[in-house]
Amino acid sequence: MVNKIRNLILIFFLHLFFLTAFPVYAADFKTDYQIEYHLTESKENLNSRVSFFIKITNLKSDIYVDKFAISFPKSFFISDLSASDDSGSIDPKITNDDKKTKIEMEFNEPHIGRDTINVIRLSFDQANLFKINGNVWEVMLPIIENKDNSSYRVVVNLPETTDKKISISKPKPDSISGNQIVWNNPTTKTIYAVFGDSQYYKTNLTYNLKNTGLTPGFIEIALPPDTTYQKIYLNNISEKPVKVKRDEDGNYMATYLLKPLENKTVMANLVIEIFPNPRDEMLEHNRNMFNLQKKYLLNQQKYWEIKNPQKTDNYKTIQEIYAYVVSSLSYSYERVNSESVRLGADKILTVPDLAVCMEFTDLFVAMSRDKGIYAREIEGYGVSSDPQLRPLSLSSDVLHAWPEYYDTEKQIWRSVDPTWENTSGIDYFNSFDLNHIVFAIHGKKSDYPYPAGMYKIENSKDITVEPVTKRPDEKIEISIEDIQIATSLTDNKTHLAKFSVKNLSNVYVREVPVEVKLPGVNLSPSSVKIESLAPYESKEVNLELKIDKNKKINKTDFQIIVFGKKLFEQQIKIVSPINENILKIGGFLIFIIFVYSLFKNRRK
């Protein structure tokens, strides 16, 4: 008597975002999958023709499959569906409910017997799988779980006309040939891929400042900084700051002076470019900064301490710490929209089901520092189209937090995101994405500086971020300000001079060469190189000037040259000691004669 297994079902879960196969009596079958995506561009959309090739091999002689079903979430907009087996077309049965669309197919003439093969071919159009996101294409492909004793192959065919190249892939593809990308037997829950060299975000930030004191006061704000993977283009700032500096963590701090009880609103318009790979021009700069930061990057801080470290003693490497944080905490969607209090690392160990991104980050930083691994926190913006998969978790605005650790072997900061791996199943340890924008870096202190979005008035909307397709032009402009140099110099003295180099560009400028010329005068230094200047930041240059006695000159030209361009010039007189003394004596004699004349006239 032949037994029939009728409903070998593949179910697609939206909240987990991966396909799960539930073959009945799985040991009785071997199921091989090939899923192929053919992409086409139309205007501002990416369409994909999806083809499933599913091969089911009977491993027993008395069991066979006569039906096959697959379910998709309602958000999957499927059209132009066709199905077939080896005997011809299949008329699929389609049913819908509030959550999913189910497609059921019955074989025309199912093959019976050990080692016989039944094949299902399913093809459809899907418009919203591959997404155009500003300058990049982004996709999360679902993977069928329970693939034991089977092969699984995913093929993506990019449009022939595109020049987009894959920049991020989790996991890495097994082969790339022209515009075809192949993954064989992926073990992850999803394939996440980004196509494009970098991403651009048009960003508008509002800072609501208030001086509650009865005297004038200075208030600092944190603007988005340049980092290893981030470059800023400052298009406009509504009011120029009185001072700009970068703190020890590399934050871009702007200072404003407010009158007593004054309210001030500062609006910054930027384009922020995010890169998949480290920026070469930042590596040496960040390594130099790290050597200064090391003195505090292992310190315990508020929120970054574990009072009973025995709980986490078994986790020593950075990989073990990351895996522990991802697996031991559960994301609490209930806390997202509430005015929740930041719990910190020690508290979240007692209530692991109440974690949001701050607690995932705090625990990672605390555990890392406890094991002698340099770590810090990043607060910023996470660009997410699905808050269930990649949630945004700071109620003050749509902010996100994630940690970084310093890879001492590669000498580079590496970002990881245990929160988003916990919620999406995507690997955020071995590679990152182009959806994280840095607003503030917390290394020295766990709660300062405040990122954009924390300078609020009640429920104001202070952040807007929009992906765009075009990189702004760099506008390099340097000015020389606050010049202090005497108009005449005496050749028997050492004179002091100084000036400031200010960046009026819309970007950070690096390795700024400043050359000073004063013919006939020995300068120390005659040239300097400023490692980095943020927009509106100034650096002071101090000089010692001494006349060269071997050169008899009466005047010379003081010049300041930056990037090979002369930005300042002033004529300087050179006065010898003899001439200077003669002038002094002459002046004294004139004064005596003047006084004598006045006295004589009064007597008359």
Q: How far apart, in Å, are the Cα atoms of 139 and each of 184, 385, 569?
A: 17, 11, 56
**Range in 163-172, 203-212, 373-382, 543-552 the model is least confident about:** 543-552
Is 90 exceeded by the pLDDT of residue 385? Answer: no
pLDDT for res 12: 32
Q: Does 602 score more than 80 pLDDT?
A: no
Question: If DSSP codes are grouped into helix, strand and coil, which group holds residue 370?
Answer: helix
DSSP state of 449: S
> Is pLDDT at 27 greater than 80 in this prediction?
no
Contact 1, 64 (CB under 8 A): no
pLDDT above 70 covers what percent of the chain? 88
Q: Is 75 helix (H, G, I), strand (E, B) or coil?
A: coil
Strands (E), 107-187: 117-126, 131-133, 136-142, 144-145, 152-157, 166-170, 175-177, 180-184
Work out the mean pLDDT of the chain and round it to a whole number: 88
For 153, the token pair is: 């192959």
Task: Report the range of poorest mean pLDDT among 94-98, 251-255, 359-363, 367-371.
Answer: 94-98
According to CATH, the topology of domain 478-577 is: Immunoglobulin-like (2.60.40)
CA dist 405 and 320 (Å) reads 13
Q: Classify 39 as helix, strand or coil.
A: strand
Mean pLDDT lowest among 83-87, 160-164, 428-432: 160-164
Question: Of the given ranges (26-40, 212-226, 568-582), which has the lowest mean pLDDT?
Answer: 568-582
pLDDT on residue 357: 94
Which band of pLDDT confidence, cut at 50, 70 and 90, is reported for residue 445? very high
Mean per-residue pLDDT for 391-413? 82
Give the whole-angstrom CA distance, residue 98 versus residue 415: 38
Average pLDDT for residues 220-239, to the nearest whole number?
97
Sheet containing 18-22: which strands, arranged edge to edge?
93-96, 100-106, 67-73, 8-13, 18-22, 144-145
Residue 322: the pLDDT is 98
Mean pLDDT of 259-268: 97
| CA dist., res. 535 & res. 564, Å (int) | 20
Task: Check residue 585 and give its pLDDT.
Answer: 62
Query: What is the per-residue pLDDT across 265-310, written as a single tens digit (0 to 9) for each?
Result: 999 999 999 999 999 999 999 999 999 999 999 999 999 999 988 8
Least confident of 168-177, 402-411, 451-460: 451-460
* DSSP state letters, 463-507: EEEEEES-PPPP---EEEEEEE--SEEETTSEEEEEEEEEE-SSS
Q: Name the class of domain 3-194.
A: mainly beta
What are the sequence ranges of the domains in the chain? 3-194, 202-468, 478-577
